[in-house]
Amino acid sequence: MCSATVKNIPDNIHNPVSKLKVGSIKSDTTSNIAFIIASAIATKHNQQIDVDHIAIYLQTIKSSKDFYYSLLDIKKTFEYFNVPIEAKKNASPFDFLNLSNEILIGIDHQNQLFALVGSSQEYVYLIYGIMNRKALICPLKKSLFIQNFTTNKFLILR
């Protein structure tokens, strides 16, 4: 559903995300999640945060190679970096679409973490991490989003 190169990303998403430094980032789970968190902070608060510092913190909370980051781990990471975030349960995909100016962190039906960083009349914009040192931003039609994202738990940056 997504592509690594996306055209016509709104400036309020593109500008803060493009300023994130991805020099030493690898294409692994920890680096991708660190990038998602940094993107959410940069987009919401227009504040730059070091992706490597987030990755190092994430590695300290998960010590084994075979790991999975839960939404609780992600929430703790935001809190560690003094970014207020709240958890929501029993939400529907429609709840995502009714919010404005919030950044949402969720898990899709393939257990991939994403940040919903903006929306337009027709699209939502999801960040999935990085690929080949470029942000993997997915503009997704709202109808497809509703069909494919069945999570009922997410985190929200207000």
Residue-by-residue DSSP string for 102-145? -EEEEE-TTS-EEEEEEE-SSEEEEEEEEETTEEEEEEEEHHHH
Largest Cα–Cα distance in the chain? 42
Q: In this predicted structure, what is the pLDDT of residue 5?
A: 47
Query: Is 83 within 8 Å of 155 (Cβ atoms)?
Result: no
- 22: helix, coil or strand? coil
Q: Which two tokens stand for residue 121?
A: 């009349």
Strand partners, 119: 124
- DSSP H or E segment with residue 116: strand 113-119
**Phi-psi group of 22: left, alpha or beta (phi > 0 → left; psi -120 to 50 → alpha; rest → beta):** alpha
Helix (H, G, I), strand (E, B) or coil at 153: coil
- Closest of 123, 87, 122 to residue 107, by C-alpha: 87
* pLDDT-flagged residues of the chain (< 50): 3-5
pLDDT reported for residue 95: 67
Structure confidence by residue, pLDDT tens digits, 76-119: 999 999 999 988 887 666 666 666 677 889 887 778 888 988 88
Q: What proportion of the chain, given as a percentage, has pLDDT over 90?
A: 16
What pLDDT was estimated at residue 77? Answer: 94
> Three-state DSSP class for 38?
helix
* In contact, 114 and 104? CB cutoff 8 Å: no
pLDDT at 25: 62
